[in-house]
Structures are given as structure tokens and as C-alpha cells.
Amino acid sequence: MAAGEGVVPSPALEASHALVRRAGERLGHGIDHTVVALAGATGSGKSSLFNALAGVDLSAVGVRRPTTSTTHACWWGDDATPLLDWLEVSRRHHVTGGTDLDGLVLLDLPDHDSTALEHRAEVDRVVAVADVVVWVLDPQKYADRAVHERYLRPLAHHAGVLVVALHQADRLTGEQLEACRSDLAELLRTDGLDDVALLTTSVRHEAGVAALREVLVERVVARRSAIARLEADLDSLVVVLGETCGDGEPPRPDGGGRRQVLDALVEAAGVGLVTDAVAGSHRAAAVAATGWPATRWLRRLRPDPLRRLHLGAEGGAGRTSLPAPSAASTARVETAVRSLARSASEDLPLEWSDAVDAVARDRLGVLPARLDAAVASTDLDAGRRPRWWRAVGGLQLVLAVVAVVGGLWLAALAGLAYLQLGSLGTPDVGPLPVPTAMLVGGVVAGLLVAFVARLAAGVGARRRARRARVRLEAAVAAVASAEVCDPVDAVLARHQRFCESLAALAG
């Protein structure tokens, strides 16, 4: 039942708690006693029947209506005082001397249909706890709405607990009695009490109560009535609770809905921005490491895109500077979560699908912060620098040195020429003099290497962005599970547990 807490309407849950409590209390008094309550309309003859069974004039029989105003008890055999205390019946009588009725606790109830409303309340109270209820009907009143609609129909699961006695049978001729009896049987069928025990009784003849007495002896000896009553209560409770269980198949986890939620969250988390920044950062670092030395310092002036988002190696698990999710992406997340909840709870009764919807949307407010934290704590592998960068960087340095040496050489030559100190010969490489070849070759090769390295860095940046995307999506998926999918699954699991335990109870 704990599985249904907060979801199943509280009256049904309270009823189940009350039943558990009552079952404990009733069984605590043992099943050696069988509590039989005589209930019926005013004037139906409950008290006369009670007296006839007890063999003593205990309950006042009278012509004024209503006659009996409090419950009377009469017990046979072992001490039933604690049980009667529990039943809150104070007017008691003990029949001594062992008879076959030993173990019977017979209660004579007030009427349920007179103008005295407190009588009705007392009847309601006792009828709800007695092990066996003998409903005393008479030929005048057997079709009254008050008894059928208020008491018999709600007890439709209690056919085994009920005994219906058509009392004052002596007022009718044999033929009339038979017609009356079958009419009553038909009415009881309409009430849903198909196989309830139906007797005819009378106190005017000796044999009139024999049949009822026999039934009571049978129940007293069997000592099963207390348990049968609780089982019947349980059955009707299971039916009530079963309405909140639904009859559809247990809902299947919905892959499409989850994918949708994940996509919307990926967008809301700004994964695209981050992966772009990762790629940009990679490219910037590559250029800084492998670019043409003459211009690579310019790159350093531009901030690293990752660092600007407060991400990257030293970013750690703090907050990022990613812009908050846009209204549109928040809206998309909300719509996706709604549709996930809806598809997951499609076959469930309303109470449960409300619960699913509520837990799914419960965390919408904290999702941005969670996503941000997830992105911040994802290792983007930002600080890593490929080894070839260093090699290329070295090469660029060498090329730069070559170009500079060539340039200096040429400058020296130019200086000597300016000072008219004659010209030093220069060795030639092919058609070009060596210093010229060094300057031009160094610059051209440096630019060429920078270009090729940039192309390679572009490939690397894309690969790295892809890797970052995979990791970020995994992080977002973890958030989606923790904040949306798992709570939904938990409710679905609760529903299943609830229904399974109900089925076990019913079985």
C-alpha cells in the first residue's frame, strides 16, 4: 500500500489503513468467538428474535417505535469481555451452561430506518465490524430502499458474511411466503448478493428460529467467520483500490520520448556553443603553437573561446558563463518532458498519470542549473596539445631562423655595398644566391607549414569537437535520467508494485 501513498485517493488509502488496524485488533481477540449482529428495520422483530435465540427476555420488545435504542449483547461460553469492550457494547448478558452456541456473541442492534439518527450511526458502526450480520427483514418492509441501497448493496462482496432472515413468516400463508421469499431473493440478486443465505424465521412457532440457530451453530463451530469477514472487507477494498490501478498493460518505457527530451536538453545546455568553442579553442591553440612566428603572437591577443565560457582545463566544476537557455529551448524542453510523461502514462488511470506528470515536471526549474553544472564538470580535454604541434613549432622556429639569417646576410651584403667596401661573393643555389634563397625559402616554407598545420588543426578541432559532443551528451543524458526519466520510472515502478500487491491480495 505504501506504493500508492500520495497517488491513490486518500479515502481509499485510509480505508486500507483502517482495515489493517481493525484486522489486527479483531484477530488479537482470537477467533474463538463469533460476533453475530442482528440488524433490521424498526419493527422487523430483531429483539424478539434475539430473545428467542438467547432463550431469555433480554431485549425489550414493544409496540412503540423505535424500541431498541442501544446495542445489547449476549454471549455464550468463554469470557468475551475484552471483545465486547472492543466492540464498545456495554449492555451485556452471559448465557452460562455449555450449549452448542458456545463462542457466540450475539448483538441486538437498534433500527436503521427510524427518525432517530443516532440509531443509524450505531448500526453503521457495528455492521462494519461484526463477523456475521443477520439482516432481519419482514414481509412489510423487505423491499425498503433504506435497507437495500444503504446496506445490502455496499455489502455485495460480503455474501458470506451476511445472513438474510425473512422474519415474521407466520403473518403470511405458505403460498404467500414462498412468493415473498422468491421476490426477496430476486431483489437480493439485483443487489449483487446472489448466493447469500436466505432463511425464513418466526418466533410464534417453536421451529421458527431453528434454521437460523442451525446456521449460527455452524458458523460458531467453524470459527472462520472473523477471518471470512476480514477477507470480504479486503476483497471489496481491493475492488475499490483496483479502480486506481487500471486494467491496461504495464506501460513500456518510451524510447522516442526519451530521445526527444535528450535532444531538447542538449540544445538547452548549449552543447552546440560549447563544442564550437572547443573547436575554436583547439584551432587557436594550434595556431599559437604552429603558426607563422611573425604573426602568431597576434593570435594570443584574442581570448580563448573556451576560457571566455569559463570552461576548459582550469575551469573546473564551477559555473560556466554559458548564456541561460533561451525561452524557445526552455519551451522545447518543457514540451518534450510533457510528451514523455504523457506517453509513459497513457494507459494509466488518471491518478497515476497525474503523478507521472507531476514528477516529470517537478524538476524543470532546476534543470538549467543542473545542465550547467554537468557541462562545467565535463572533461573537454582542453589542455591537451598534440605532439606534432611542438615539432611543427620547432620547424617554424628553424625556418624563421633560416629566414632571419638570410635576411641578416642580405642586410650585411647591402651594408657592405652601401659602404662601397666591394662585394663579397655569395654562393649560389641554382639560380638564386644563398641568402636570398634562405630569406625567401624560410618565409614561404613558414607560411606553407602554417597553412598545412592550420588545415590539420581544423581536422583535429572537428575531431575534438566531436569527442566533446559525445562527452557532453553523455553528461546531459545523465542529467536527463536523474531529473526526468528516473523519477518517471520510479512512479511507474510504484504503480506496478501497487498493482502487483493488489493482484496478490485479490488472488
Query: Which residues bind to other proteins, rule: CB under 8 A?
Result: 41-44, 63-66, 111, 113-117, 120, 138-146, 148-149, 172, 176, 179-180, 183, 187, 190, 267, 270, 272-273, 276, 308-309, 321, 323-332, 334-335, 338, 342, 346, 350, 353, 357
Shortest CB 176 distance to other proteins, Å:
4
Written as one letter, the residue type at 483 is E
Q: Are 136 and 46 spatial neighbours (Cβ–Cβ below 8 Å)?
A: yes
Torsion, Cα of 328, 332, 335, 340 (10° steps) = -170
CA–CA distances in Å: residue 182 to residues 30, 157, 178, 189, 191:
38, 21, 6, 10, 14
Residue 435 · residue 410 · CB < 8 Å: yes
Residues in the chain: 507
- Toward other proteins, which CB reaches closer, 251 or 433? 251
Query: Would you say 138 or 483 has its CB closer to other proteins?
Result: 138
* Closer to other proteins by Cβ: residue 4 or 305: 305
Task: Please calculate the CA angle 371-377-382 and round it to the nearest 5 degrees.
Answer: 120
Closer residue to other proteins, CB minimum distance, 174 or 427: 174
Q: Enter the C-alpha cell of residue 382.
A: 582542453
- Least distance (Å) from other proteins to the CB of residue 145? 5
Give me the helix-helix angle, 434-480 and 293-301, nearest 10°: 30
- Spell out the residues 6+ positions from residue 420 whose beta carbon is closer than 8 angstroms to its own: none
Q: Which of 111, 254 has the CB closer to other proteins?
A: 111
- Residue 480 grid coordinates: 536527463
Q: Nearest approach, Cβ of 143 to other proteins (angstroms)?
A: 3
CB of 298: closest distance to other proteins in angstroms?
19
Min separation Cβ 305 and other proteins, Å = 9
- Using an 8 Å Cβ cutoff, are 169 and 200 in contact? yes
Report the SS3 class of residue 389.
helix
197-200 vs 428-429, strand pairing mode: unpaired
- Tell how strand 104-108 and strand 72-76 pair up: antiparallel
Q: Does an H or E element contain 278, and which? A: helix 271-290
Q: How far is the CB of 231 from other proteins (least distance, A)?
A: 28
Q: How far is the CB of 42 from other proteins (least distance, A)?
A: 5
For residue 9, cis peptide bond before it (omega within 30 degrees of 0): no
> Rounded to the nearest whole angstrom, what is the least distance from the CB of residue 183 to other proteins in the complex?
5
Residue 106 vs 147, nearer CB to other proteins: 147
Residue number, 357 or 372, with CB nearest to other proteins: 357
Output 270 or 435, the one with its CB closest to other proteins. Answer: 270
Burial tier of 474 (Cβ tally within 10 Å: 0-12, 13-18, 19+): exposed
Helix (H) or strand (E) holding 72: strand 72-76
At its nearest, how many Å lie between other proteins and the CB of residue 60? 14
As a whole number of angstroms, the distance between CA 312 and CA 381 comes to 7
Nearer to other proteins, 183 or 362 (CB): 183
SS3 at position 420: coil
- Pairwise CA distance, residues 212 & 121, whole Å: 26
Q: Which residue number, 275 or 378, has a Cβ lying nearer to other proteins?
A: 275
Task: Give the C-alpha separation, 458 to 135, whole Å.
Answer: 91
Of 103 and 270, CB closest to other proteins: 270
- Min separation Cβ 122 and other proteins, Å: 14
Beta carbon of residue 93, minimum distance to other proteins (angstroms, whole number): 26
With respect to other proteins, which residue has the nearer C-beta, 191 or 233? 191
Name beta bridge partners: 92.
Answer: 73
Least distance in Å: CB of 430 to other proteins? 41
Q: What does the block give as the cell for 401?
A: 631562423
Q: How far apart are the two ends of the chain, measured CA to CA in Å?
A: 16
| 449 in Cβ contact with 392 (< 8 Å) | yes
Distance in angstroms (rounded) separating the CA atoms of residues 311 and 375: 9
What is the distance between the alpha carbons of residues 407 and 443, in angstroms, rounded to a whole number?
10
Nearer residue to other proteins within complex by CB, 90 or 140: 140
Residue 359 beta carbon to other proteins: minimum distance, rounded to whole angstroms = 14
